[in-house]
Chains A and B, each alone.
Chain A
Amino acid sequence: MPDVLYSIKGGCKSMNDEIERRNEPRPPMPSPKQTVGPHTRERRLHSGNKIVPTETIAGQALISVIAIMAFLACLTLGIVTIINQTASDWQGDISREVTIQIRPFDNIEMDAAIRTASRIALNYEGVSKVTALNDDASAKLLEPWLGTGLNIEELPLPRLLTVVIDRDKKPDFVSMRAELLAKVPGASLDDHRNWVDRLNTMAWAMVMIGISILALVMAATVLIVVFATRGAMAGNRDVVEVLHFVGADAGFISNEFQQHFLQLGLKGAASGAAAAAILFVGMGLWSSIGDATPQGDQIKALFGTFSLGWTGYVGIFVVLILIAILTAFTTRITVQRYVNSLYSYNSTGE
């Protein structure tokens, strides 16, 4: 019992008793020491309930909205990551090989020219292997156009040498090309620059489109989370007002709401991010099951392995945290604005 009530002259045990016995001499009010005991703790008393109501329809709706937006954001992020990885893989595969082509001339000794070209290429640092396509391989290569049973020696076909490049160190293609032109008549070096450049452009465009879509999805997520949070907050205005009138300062009120909405944001974002992660894991498993089939190989060649890699999953985690922080931050700003309007002594004629 607060001291103020104990100091009431002629205090009483309870207000009801006071009314019933108001004509009788009043016994002194019990002091705190007298009342503290097992009987005051018959049932567990605690202020454990959160000041901000937890189980509200608006709160559940907010979790759902955040979960959906987090799922879409993580899905977009994952797809952009896969495109980026696949494009990098394509580029890597193409740029690891160059081709030397030797056109046949009347006076050329083709085998000697092939040996010379191989020797020149192998002399360069960064070249790990040179393979000349033999007649059978060349015939197989031309089979779709010229049919089977082809005697390749009768045709004036250029011969190809594939030069395998080290992943870490690239040879000096300019010097190699100049030396081949000088020493091997009819030789030319194709370093696939045109293909790589086109692929670079295409991959860059796809990644940029993906990043733009991701930016749009993130912007939509931000706006939807902001509006949904503000909507959920609107239902708690009464709570803010009561806290304000019982003497809570702005920091206390903001912290209470921020903590609550951070939890909601984490719940929603974690649900959406987990769903996206499970989807990617599932797609990865599905694509790996089809590895042994021709269709699986084609899909793998086009889309890679559908495997996000650890960077993709880190990205999903970062999106999750960002959305939760965004929810909490929006709440703090919204509450602070409302509390400041309550605290500013300028509300004449509300």
Chain B
Amino acid sequence: MIKFENVGLRYGLGPEVLSDLTFQIKPKSMQFLTGPSGAGKTSLLRLMLMSLRPTRGLVKIFGKDATSITPAQLPDIRRRIGVVFQDFRLLDHLTTYENVALPLRVRGKSESSYQTDVTDLLKWVGLGERMHVLPPVLSGGEKQRVAIARALIDQPDILLADEPTGNVDPPLARRLMRLFLELHRSGTAVILATHDLGLMDQFDARRLVLNQGRLQIYE
């Protein structure tokens, strides 16, 4: 689904922050992306999300060379990728329900076609009683779950989650991890960026370890 070949990235004229990355994300796979803070996890996720262009190397998304993807094709590709941002990026003027429904709304779907899906998903992530609440009054963990629900609502082929457990306490982190595992079992390729080694030790999954811009893969 995603293929990197000898990919390198530098910001401006600075040193390469990512060097010679060669790996593949297979369909229905589960992997952790880890490494110390500042190792380039977020940059790598942005490369996968096509919000950054590599300085060198080849990036293929869903079998297409990323450089050949036109702006008109990009929204369709983005719709196949669910993203959970480290800072959630919820729209503060929309309710929890509306934030989760947003991906479906921008696709032009009618409200009647997704209302049940959204409410059930919110109940499933434990926010059934918080549907009408605006994000500013949600706790960090609740915001995180809203962001996750928004990423999942349209059944993406790939889920990219940047430190999805970084703002929550350990019990909630484990809960969220189980959610991702459930999602993986349902057929979505999941890439979780985290530096929480303790959490990773509790779950058996492929590990992509970034260190000083280089990638090591532990199957």
Residue B95 at the chain A interface, CB threshold 8 Å: yes
> Which of B31-39, B148-156, B191-199, B209-217 has 4 or more CB atoms under 8 Å from chain A?
B148-156
Rounded to whole Å, the gap between the CB of B120 and the closest CB of chain A is: 4
Residue B52 at the chain A interface, CB threshold 8 Å: yes
Q: How far is the CA of A199 from the CA of B134 in the complex (A)?
A: 67
Q: Which residues of A contact B153 (CB under 8 A)?
A: 2
Contact in complex: A40, B116 (CB < 8 Å): yes
Q: How far is the CA of A221 from the CA of B51 in the complex (A)?
A: 36
Q: How far is the CA of A247 from the CA of B105 in the complex (A)?
A: 10
Q: How far is the CA of A349 from the CA of B179 in the complex (A)?
A: 34
Q: How far is the CA of A340 from the CA of B92 in the complex (A)?
A: 24
> Which of B19-27, B74-82, B200-208 has 4 or more CB atoms under 8 Å from chain A?
B74-82
Rounded to whole Å, the gap between the CB of A157 and the closest CB of chain B is: 85
Interface size of B as a range: 35 or more
Q: Which residues of A contact B174 (CB under 8 A)?
A: 19
- Chain A residue at minimal CB-CB distance from B108: A252
Q: How far is the CA of A15 from the CA of B152 in the complex (A)?
A: 14
Contact in complex: A2, B71 (CB < 8 Å): no
Q: How far is the CA of A236 from the CA of B124 in the complex (A)?
A: 31
Residue A49 at the chain B interface, CB threshold 8 Å: yes
Q: How far is the CA of A343 from the CA of B101 in the complex (A)?
A: 22
A203-255 residues with Cβ-Cβ distance < 8 A to B are: 238-239, 241-250, 252
A14-B125 contact, Cβ under 8 Å, with A243-B106, A348-B9, A348-B53: yes
Q: Which residues of B contact A238 (CB under 8 A)?
A: 89, 91
Contact in complex: B131, A43 (CB < 8 Å): yes
Q: DSSP class of A's interface residues: helix, strand, loop or mixed?
A: loop
B33-77 residues with Cβ-Cβ distance < 8 A to A are: 49-55, 66-67, 69, 71-72, 74-76
Contact in complex: A1, B150 (CB < 8 Å): no
A248-B185 contact, Cβ under 8 Å, with A14-B126, A32-B116: no
Neighbour of A14 across the interface among B9, B89, B92, B123, CB < 8 A: B123
Q: How far is the CA of A207 from the CA of B83 in the complex (A)?
A: 61
Contact in complex: A345, B117 (CB < 8 Å): no
Neighbour of A53 across the interface among B90, B93, B123, CB < 8 A: B93
Rounded to whole Å, the gap between the CB of A162 and the closest CB of chain B is: 74
Neighbour of A246 across the interface among B54, B103, B116, B132, CB < 8 A: B103
Contact in complex: B83, A245 (CB < 8 Å): yes
Neighbour of B116 across the interface among A35, A239, A245, CB < 8 A: A35
Rounded to whole Å, the gap between the CB of B71 and the closest CB of chain A is: 4
Q: How far is the CA of A342 from the CA of B171 in the complex (A)?
A: 37
Q: Which residues of B contact A43 (CB under 8 A)?
A: 131-132
Neighbour of A342 across the interface among B51, B55, B93, B124, CB < 8 A: B51
> Which of A5-13, A138-146, A302-310 has 4 or more CB atoms under 8 Å from chain B?
A5-13
Q: List 22 A-B contacts (CB under 8 A).
A: A2-B155, A3-B155, A4-B155, A5-B124, A5-B183, A8-B183, A45-B97, A45-B131, A53-B93, A54-B93, A239-B91, A245-B78, A245-B89, A246-B103, A247-B107, A249-B75, A250-B71, A343-B74, A348-B52, A349-B12, A349-B14, A350-B11
- Chain A residues in the interface with B (C-beta under 8 A): 1-5, 7-9, 11-16, 18-19, 22, 29-30, 32, 35-36, 40, 43, 45-47, 49, 51, 53-55, 238-239, 241-250, 252, 340, 342-350
- Chain B residues in the interface with A (C-beta under 8 A): 9-12, 14, 49-55, 66-67, 69, 71-72, 74-76, 78-79, 83, 85, 89-95, 97-98, 101-103, 105-108, 111, 115-121, 123-126, 128, 131-132, 145, 150, 152-155, 171, 174-175, 178-179, 182-183, 185-188
Query: Beyond the given A1-B116, A15-B178, A30-B120, could you list 18 further A-B residue pairs with CB under 8 A, ordered by the A residue number?
Result: A2-B155, A5-B186, A8-B182, A8-B185, A14-B123, A16-B126, A22-B178, A45-B119, A47-B98, A49-B94, A242-B91, A246-B106, A247-B79, A247-B106, A247-B154, A347-B52, A348-B53, A348-B54
